[in-house]
């Protein structure tokens, strides 16, 4: 019984207030009971109506770009864990700037444990943990964060190149695939994040690229139809929005 309502009973439903677009607000508090040794209960309070709709316990569930919903849905088994992470992320933003990175690291690991606790399989939980971990460094890591993202990008390119060149030129090129693992050790306590993000990023890169191109072709066709038929209203937009939201459990493409 990892999630309970504010009376201590197993959580079977959670009332939410829909605020249009993709934002919801938690209407009743609930708790998550950390199964780790010495773990405590974490309460996710109901949204304070005195706050603006996009502040406090506002959630868009797992902020998966719509073109990737076929791979990871925005809601499902991961919903309560995502709302929990949104709450912890909001708490992080209220902390002093020099504490945010460490607090987000704890929040992201809590998210991973809560995902597994909710029935999400280990690989999928690791994918989602890696995604929010990279976002953590993009938002709070400063120069260190951009260095990690740069190494992640180069590592994914190296892995894809190792496979392609190994198949086309010579099998010895497959050895290049070990380079990201070796370089990840340089990041110490962040080695697991860099290693996981690099190899899972390379694994999912073809699917992400194909889905992204497909969404852009759909936008092009929709725009042609919109112009040709003189349909009123704004021009069609491709999903997802490339800018990460300023709140929520954001899952950027890996």
How confident is the model over 83-130, as pLDDT tens digits?
A: 899 889 888 888 998 899 999 999 999 999 999 999 988 988 998 899
* CB 39 within 8 Å of CB 33: yes
Q: Are residues 10 and 128 in the same domain?
A: yes
Q: Are residues 80 and 136 in the same domain?
A: yes
Q: Are residues 8 and 28 in the same domain?
A: yes
Q: How many domains does the chain have?
A: 2
* CB 107 within 8 Å of CB 89: yes
Q: Are residues 54 and 126 in the same domain?
A: yes
This prediction's pTM: 0.78
> Is there a domain that residue 228 lies in?
no
Q: Are residues 110 and 158 in the same domain?
A: no
**What is the tens place of the pLDDT at every residue in 46-75?**
877 666 665 666 777 766 666 566 666 667
* Domain enclosing residue 168, as ranges: 146-213
């Amino acid at each position: 019984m990892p999630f309970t309502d504010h009376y201590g009973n197993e959580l079977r439903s959670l009332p939410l207030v829909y605020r249009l677009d993709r934002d919801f607000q938690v209407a009743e508090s609930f708790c998550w009971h950390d199964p780790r040794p010495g773990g405590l209960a974490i309460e996710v309070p109901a949204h304070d109506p005195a706050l603006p709709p996009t502040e406090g316990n506002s959630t868009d569930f797992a902020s998966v770009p719509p073109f990737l919903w076929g791979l990871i849905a925005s809601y499902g088994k991961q919903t309560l864990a995502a709302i929990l992470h949104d709450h912890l992320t909001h708490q992080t933003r209220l902390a002093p700037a020099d504490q945010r990175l460490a607090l987000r690291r704890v929040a992201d690991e809590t998210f991973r444990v809560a995902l597994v606790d909710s029935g999400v399989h280990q690989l999928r939980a690791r994918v989602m943990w890696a995604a929010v971990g990279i976002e953590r460094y993009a938002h709070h890591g400063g120069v260190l964060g951009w260095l990690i993202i740069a190494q992640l990008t180069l590592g994914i390119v190296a892995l894809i190149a190792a496979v392609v060149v190994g198949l086309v030129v010579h099998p010895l090129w497959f050895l290049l695939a070990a380079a990201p693992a070796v370089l990840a050790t340089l990041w110490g306590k962040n080695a697991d994040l860099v290693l996981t993000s690099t190899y899972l990023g390379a694994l999912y890169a073809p699917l992400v690229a194909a889905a992204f191109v497909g969404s852009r072709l759909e936008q092009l066709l929709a725009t042609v139809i919109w112009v040709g038929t003189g349909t009123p209203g704004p021009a069609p937009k491709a999903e997802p929005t490339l800018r990460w939201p300023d709140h929520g459990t954001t899952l950027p493409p890996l």
